[in-house]
Amino acid sequence: MDLQKLITRPEKGAKAAKAADALEVVGKSVQRVDGLEKIKGAARYTDDLEFGPGLLYAALVESPHAHARIKAIDTARAEKVHGVVKVVTGRNFKHKFGLYMNDRYIFANDVVRFVGEQVAAVVATDPKIALRAAALVKVDYEELPAVMDAVKGLEKGSPLVHPDLKDYTHVPWFFPKPGTNIAHWRKIRKGDLAKGFRDADLVLEDTYTVPRYAHCAIEPHSAIGLYDASGRLTMWTSSQSPFTQRHVFAETLKAFGLSHKDVRVISTYIGGGFGGKAGVTMEIIAAALAIAVPGRPVKLLWNRAQEFYNTYQRLGVTAKIKMGATKAGKITALDFKLYWDSGAYVEYGANVVNAAGLSASGPYRVDNISVDSMCTYTNLPPCGAYRGFGYSEFLFGLESHITRMAEQLGLDPVEFRKKNAIKEGETLPYGAHMNPTGIREAIERVEKEIKWGVKEKSKDPKKAFGKSLVCFWKAPAMPPNASSSAFLKFNEDGSVNILVSGMDMGQGLLTVMAQIAGEVLALPVSKIRVETPDTDRNPYEWQTVGSHVTWGCGNAVKRAALEARERIFDLVQRVHCLDKSTLYLQDECVKCRTKPDFSLPFRDFVINGIQAEDHTFKGGPIMGSGVFMPEFTSAISDPETGQGGHPNVHYTTGAAGVILEVDKETGKMRIKKVALAVDCGKAINPDLVKGQIVGGLLQGFATVLYEDMRYSEKGRLLNPNFSDYKIPTSMDMPDEVVPIIIEVAQPDGPFGARGVGEHTMIPCAPLIANAVADAVGVRVKSMPVTKEKVALAVKAAGK
Amino acid sequence: MKAHRINFTLNGEKVSLEVEPNDVLLDTLRGRLGIKSPKVGCDRGDCGTCTVLMNGRTVRSCLALAVEADGADLVTLEGAGTRKWTKRLQAKFHEKNAFQCGFCAPGVILSATELLEKNPKASQHDIKEAIAGNLCRCTGYEPIVEAIAETAKGK
């Protein structure tokens, strides 16, 4: 398929389109710079690295209880096993840690709060010995009443997961309620809600539920730590967040005399992240174990079950929505309550709750709005970042509700959406203003693609077709001062190495960074190498999360390239006496507008300088550095209204539509066609954007059609493997996927780009729920919308 | 437990090794022979990222014991690049940016190699079926299936 044909640049972007046509490297679907390594089997992931015969292996002792007091730990028998080097417990590590809130210990101290929580670890010369010895550690527990449900956890008299909540340190934009299970309560109050409901011709109220989900990156987490005799800690981790990890390791293990300069985190390729490898989870265990066995590398490798129950999970949510709208189709009021099952520790997950609370209006203008997004502790595994960061969860209810509102008002659901879709400059729920957006164009393109309004009838009387169209948006969730930086250096042959600490987890960051630098420096991507992070060598990046690195890290790389270009121009001006303003770069050479025969190839001077007439050399290695921090954001606002800050940098918006076939007897669903249009500002590499659309859609469809995490009453995860937690195979692909790229430039983005990674899975759940309703007239309000639920609902409705 | 000596060819070279009866082939390849393209993904045959070719057929090396390799001809992605179909598949996968994180790639490429070696005229359905045991969480499979189909058609 010709991707260029899929790109839409709306009218207002016509000037930008003309500029886009002049681009040489950006906007082209070049091959991935990491493509060959991965296809030849040469790419190294963390578990592939060799550490020699001295490598030690760790195995964990895990809690069998959801909530219990640790009365005693007896490690004596484990310590006697031949080959065991060390047994470590919470006694050795007393400091709490966390990304946004310090509510976790490296090993449980006194209390365990979920089934599978690490209580102790055995370090041994062989993984089998470590496992065997871990089974010999005896832990005496006194079981405590547990919180298994977020809504029940809010009831008076509920057991408390963290009775000491008042003592926990956290970022200033969190509002925990000590004495309850509420770790954070994000409130938004704007306009006059009561008046909004009075002005409405229809007020609809309902509840939607979303269970927990697992990332299921095919590569499990792994971490190797080495604390050497000089007191330096080196960690090799499979991570989206090497610098954040370095910071957390250094802060948490400060008592051992570590400073940031002594901690080095090296992250090679990672086999999928999806938010699951953001922040710090199991890696801090490996860091602690390295400290416990100085001088020897120690490896911690998660098995698939641990991958499910002891990394972050996606939060579950119960969403209560009350919405009002007029007959003319204007949304007049929204009262949205989100009760999040956030798990035993919310050091990262509370920010999911925060982000969702800020943006729960969806991409619509709602003047009278109240949002209560509550982060509730439960005795289930900790939750955190997962592609979509809360937006998939609230959008299921919101977009289901919007379709129902339109239908009950007798309005077309797509027209209803168009009428309320947010426009550039309009006020957001927290008072800031909306960035340029192509949401309207996205709706129109998708509408056309799925032939909205044309009813399709199945030839098979047992089957029915349904259509739906939903909108989505998402902003990167990040602290206001999250920054990116880049180094760029030329080599003798005019090629370039770029150092960044953004992570390529498959999305194509390295390629996109090469394209951005290549565009500025008139270099093809084949002359640029971009490497994965090493905190000693590569400059700072906050984390590769929130779909912000194309934008943030891209801006840093662009600045580094511009700085290098400036140095080139300065040098050429100085030696060749050509006015800087007449110089430009083309085909790996410096050229001059006023002197057409002047052409100086990079390879002739970028390392060894330019020889002047007196035979001396001027210049030296050409380098550049670039830093980017969004200097217009602020997370501080009124805790009671959420007004006053500027917590989000921008929103990426879009729309998706589906044609779904439903078997009325079995409930089996088949996606005949799906179209997704996303406004990425500028597709630096359209093929990679398409990759995000196609991949994100299937991941999203799986969450609505069959995935979900099932727990026993005692909080044990019942399906921690790929046999019982089904993720899609090649047999589950939609019949047809149409990716559509909208380009309404982001003014502060590199070449107009904004993020696109997470957005593509966000619309999937309401897309299916609404299409099912359209096809067979039943409304499923709890995810997943399985064929079983659909079949039973059809039967119950007597349809 | 009594160690067994096993002899096999690995990527065209002869290997002779002593293994325990319960040693898993995947661990032996990765831990003792430095063969890193087959990955550890689930340790129970669900994900397919440990796929290797044993006598021309794909095997989940996490479910095979090392002793089962005795006398066999083993090929991993490290040594598959000389096979006609592997080479063509690799070129097409590269051209089409078919993979993202790449963790499933070694397994997918070997499964596709087995398919095309047996059935160069594989249909779209054959292709989907052939790689159904190789889980990919990134791509939505579409670019992978397209690349295999185009390779089969000699595009």
- What domains, with CATH codes, occur in chain A? 46-144+221-301 (3.90.1170.50), 483-628 (3.30.365.10)
Contact A39 B41 (CB under 8 A): no
The reply to whether B154 touches chain A by the CB within 8 Å rule is no
Contacts of A215 in chain B (CB under 8 A): 137
- The neighbour count for residue A428, using CB atoms within 10 Å, is 23
Mean pLDDT score, A656-678: 98
What is the reported pLDDT for A288? 98
Mean pLDDT score, A644-652: 96
Widest distance between CA atoms in chain B: 53
**A795: its two tokens:** 């039967």
Establish whether A441 is a catalytic residue.
no
* Residue A699 · residue A786 · CB < 8 Å: no
The reply to whether A194 touches chain B by the CB within 8 Å rule is no
Distance of CA A258 to CAs A30, A103, A158, A287, A574, Å? 43, 21, 40, 12, 46
CATH 1.10.150.120 domain span(s) along chain B: 81-152
Pick B137's closest partner by Cβ from A687, A721, A727.
A727
Mean pLDDT score, A453-460: 94
- Per DSSP, the residues of A348-362 read THHHHHHHHHHHTT-
Mean pLDDT score, A640-660: 97
B:105-144 residues touching chain A, CB 8 A cutoff: 105-106, 109, 127-129, 131-144
**A160: its two tokens:** 């408390």
Task: Tell whether ipTM is more than 0.90.
Answer: yes
* Residue A216 · residue A727 · CB < 8 Å: yes
Contact B39 A32 (CB under 8 A): no
Contact A271 B39 (CB under 8 A): yes
Question: Which of B35, B36, B113, B138 would best serve as a mutation to test chain A binding (most A beta carbons within 10 A)?
Answer: B138
Residue A784: cis peptide before it, omega within 30 degrees of 0: yes
Task: For residue range A482-532, list pLDDT tens digits in order.
Answer: 999 999 999 999 999 999 999 999 999 999 999 999 999 999 999 999 999
What is the reported pLDDT for A136? 98
CA distance A363 to A398: 11
Pick B105's closest partner by Cβ from A38, A273, A696.
A38
Contacts of A273 in chain B (CB under 8 A): 101
Pick A699's closest partner by Cβ from B30, B131, B137.
B137
Contacts of B131 in chain A (CB under 8 A): 730
* Residue A501 · residue A460 · CB < 8 Å: no
Q: Residue type at A783? A: M
CATH class assigned to B4-79: alpha beta
Give, as one character, the DSSP assignment of residue A594.
T
Residue that has been written with the tokens 């490798």 in this structure: A301
pTM of this structure: 0.97
Q: Helix (H) and strand (E) counts for chain B?
A: 6, 5
Contact B36 A41 (CB under 8 A): yes
What is the reported pLDDT for A336? 98
CA distance B62 to B40: 8
Contacts of A301 in chain B (CB under 8 A): 40
Give, as one character, the DSSP assignment of residue A254.
G
pLDDT above 70 (res A6): no
CA distance A252 to A94: 9
Identify the closest residue of chain A to B42 by CA–CA distance. Answer: A304
What does the mean pLDDT of chain A come to? 96
Mean pLDDT score, A724-736: 98
CA distance A39 to A94: 45
Contact A506 B102 (CB under 8 A): yes
Task: For residue range A117-169, list pLDDT tens digits in order.
Answer: 999 999 999 999 999 999 999 999 999 999 999 999 999 999 999 999 999 99
pLDDT category at A19 given cuts 50, 70, 90 is low
pLDDT above 90 (res B69): yes
Distance of CA A315 to CAs A194, A344, A610, A651, A795, Å? 31, 11, 59, 22, 31
**Rg of chain B over all Cα atoms, to the nearest angstrom:** 16
Contact A219 B132 (CB under 8 A): no
The reply to whether A507 touches chain B by the CB within 8 Å rule is yes
A499's CB contacts (< 8 A; 6+ apart) are: A486, A487, A488, A489, A530, A531, A537, A538, A539
Task: For residue range A319-343, list pLDDT tens digits in order.
Answer: 999 999 999 999 999 999 999 999 9
Identify the closest residue of chain A to B130 by CA–CA distance. Answer: A730
* Residue B53 · residue B110 · CB < 8 Å: yes
- Per DSSP, the residues of A311-343 read S-BBPEEEEEEEEEE-TTS-EEEEEEEEEEEEE
pLDDT above 60 (res A260): yes
What is the reported pLDDT for A544? 97
To the nearest whole Å, the CA of A389 is away from the closest chain B CA by: 17
Pick A270's closest partner by Cβ from B93, B101, B139.
B101
The reply to whether A596 touches chain B by the CB within 8 Å rule is no
The reply to whether B45 touches chain A by the CB within 8 Å rule is no
pLDDT category at A798 given cuts 50, 70, 90 is confident
The reply to whether B86 touches chain A by the CB within 8 Å rule is no
The reply to whether A48 touches chain B by the CB within 8 Å rule is yes
Contact A39 B99 (CB under 8 A): yes
Mean pLDDT score, A406-422: 98
A714's CB contacts (< 8 A; 6+ apart) are: A65, A66, A115, A146
To the nearest whole Å, the CA of A723 is away from the closest chain B CA by: 7
What is the reported pLDDT for A3? 57
Pick B97's closest partner by Cβ from A31, A45, A731.
A31
* Residue A360 · residue A188 · CB < 8 Å: yes
What is the reported pLDDT for A374? 98
pLDDT above 80 (res A1): no
To the nearest whole Å, the CA of B7 is away from the closest chain A CA by: 24
CA distance B43 to A220: 11
CA distance A528 to A520: 12
Least confident of A12-21, A359-368, A441-450, A713-722: A12-21
Task: For residue range A176-197, list pLDDT tens digits in order.
Answer: 999 999 999 999 999 999 999 9
pLDDT category at A756 given cuts 50, 70, 90 is very high
Mean pLDDT score, B64-81: 97
Contact A697 B140 (CB under 8 A): yes
Contacts of A57 in chain B (CB under 8 A): none
Q: Per the residue annotation, which of A24, A79, A758, A788 is the catalytic one?
A: A758
The reply to whether B103 touches chain A by the CB within 8 Å rule is yes
Task: For residue range B89-148, list pLDDT tens digits in order.
Answer: 999 999 999 999 999 999 999 999 999 999 999 999 999 999 999 999 999 999 999 999
The reply to whether B95 touches chain A by the CB within 8 Å rule is yes
pLDDT category at A13 given cuts 50, 70, 90 is low
Number of cross-chain residue pairs from A and B with Cβ atoms under 8 Å apart: 160
Residue that has been written with the tokens 């001006």 in this structure: A573
Q: Are strands A369-377 and A331-343 parallel, antiparallel or unpaired?
A: parallel
What is the reported pLDDT for A619? 96
pLDDT above 80 (res A7): no
The phi and psi torsions of A159 (rounded to 5 degrees) equal -60, 150
pLDDT above 60 (res A26): yes
CA distance A553 to B36: 31
pLDDT category at A429 given cuts 50, 70, 90 is very high
CATH topology of domain B81-152: DNA polymerase; domain 1 (1.10.150)
CATH 3.10.20.30 domain span(s) along chain B: 4-79
Identify the closest residue of chain A to B90 by CA–CA distance. Answer: A39
Cα distance between the two ends of chain B: 53
Sheet holding A669-679, edge to edge: A7-8, A737-742, A669-679, A652-663, A463-474
Cα four-point dihedral sign A534, A539, A543, A546: negative
| A235 bridge partner residues | A225, A265
Identify the closest residue of chain B to A49 by CA–CA distance. Answer: B36
Of the two residues A793 and A17, the one the predictor is more confident about is A793
pLDDT above 90 (res B155): no
